[in-house]
Amino acid sequence: MANVVVVGAQWGDEGKGKIVDWLSEQADIVVRFQGGHNAGHTLVIGGKTYKLSLLPSGVVRAGKLSVIGNGVVLDPRALVAEINLLAGQGVKITPENLRIAENVPLLLSLHQELDAMRESSGTTTRIGTTKRGIGPAYEDKVGRRAVRLMDLADPEALPPKIERLLVHHNTLRRGQGLPEIDPGAIFEELTSVAPLVLPYMDTVWSLLDGKRREGKRILFEGAQGALLDVDHGTYPYVTSSNTVAGQAATGCGLGPNAIGYVLGICKAYTTRVGEGPFPTEQNNDIGRRFGERGNEFGTVTGRPRRCGWFDAVLVRQTVRTCGIGGLALTKLDILDGFDAINVCVGYRLDGVAIDYLPAGERAQARVEPIYETIEGWRQQSAGARSWAQLPAQAIKYVRRIEELVGCSVALLSTSPEREDTILVHNPFES
């Protein structure tokens, strides 16, 4: 039985929540391995909608163990708020079904303030972040000045750690003409939340290694998308963590041999939130049609998503950088009723045809899509649960995408409802 990594194969918002929920029914453990509360998942189960940002999707299912790995940046206040929100929906979260890595770095109020300040400043490149403090928290982790969850268990050792953190942050604030942060305020912020989050702390690498040896099925849940990876994405318009599949191992302390299968999630078209290049973007009626029919608004921010045609060049690239073994193609039903559908099969850069997205920021902004036009379908694919229920032309569209990206479709989603899913092959049995 393969342990499965689920990653977004575009810029995020591909519908991972539904697919992860569908797979979590078969899993014993669901692990979040990167990102923070900037990435939202929407789950629809039995007519009830759950909106998660930080917690693994497995928490809404009884009998599943959810784990937050060391690759995440944890806002303890956001965690407590999300636990309380789910409690109001009848979902009970305890240390029995949620564990958090002891070495996870904490995201504090000062990180959120710094993120918002940078995004509002006219002196730096606007990335289009969620202003949740994710980037500054990762900077402190890499800078070796982060406060980690385990530090809350030893309050007497906190003051020097806070001082080390504030040497950096107060220097930045003085440069921006902002008041310095009082160490006592950070100490109070940490110690007040400590009793609420410490019960979930665990040595996650050891826990997961033991579960793996027992033969438990582990589902690694990625946030955002591979094109937002800090190394392999559209830099600098990326997130501050690695979002590719390889991070699943690093972000929870297991070796790469723990990963058996990588499932990439992508929409039947393309969307993006925030700034940055988007070769197939449609700033026209087609883009608005995608947005309206697909309800394309960010789960966390509510921001409207930019929409465009399916970009096979980008998905083919993420298939390779993530080692994707199969795709879950979502929102096929949004294409119902189009007379013709364009698919990007290559780019032109300064008049030269290329088959990849270049790494340079200026080159990415100049690429022009090369389209192949595919006949659309008038019949309804929405709600289909078998190939036989799909319009013939919709099947041709799916098969052409498989050819262009070099990867087969493992699951096909035709509505937000979890039952409206066509299973080609089960990732856990691959």
Cα separation of 224 and 238, whole Å? 10
DSSP codes of every residue in 177-199: TPPPPPHHHHHHHHHHHHHHHGG
Active site residue 41: yes
User: 109-120 and 134-142 helices cross at what angle (nearest 10)?
Assistant: 120
Residue tagged active-site, from 13, 202, 311, 420: 13
Chain CA centroid to CA 55, Å: 12
Q: Which residue has the tokens 């066509």?
A: 422
DSSP label at 41?
E
Q: For the CA atoms of the chain, what is the radius of gyration?
A: 22
Q: Which residue has the tokens 């999300």?
A: 82
Chain CA centroid to CA 134, Å: 13
Cα separation of 281 and 283, whole Å? 6
Cα separation of 295 and 121, whole Å? 30
HSE-up of residue 101 (Cα within 13 Å, Cβ side): 25
Q: Is 43 in a helix, a strand, or coil?
A: strand
Residue tagged active-site, from 21, 28, 37, 41: 41
DSSP codes of every residue in 263-291: EEEEESSEEE-SSS--TTB--SHHHHHHH
Return the active site residues.
13, 41
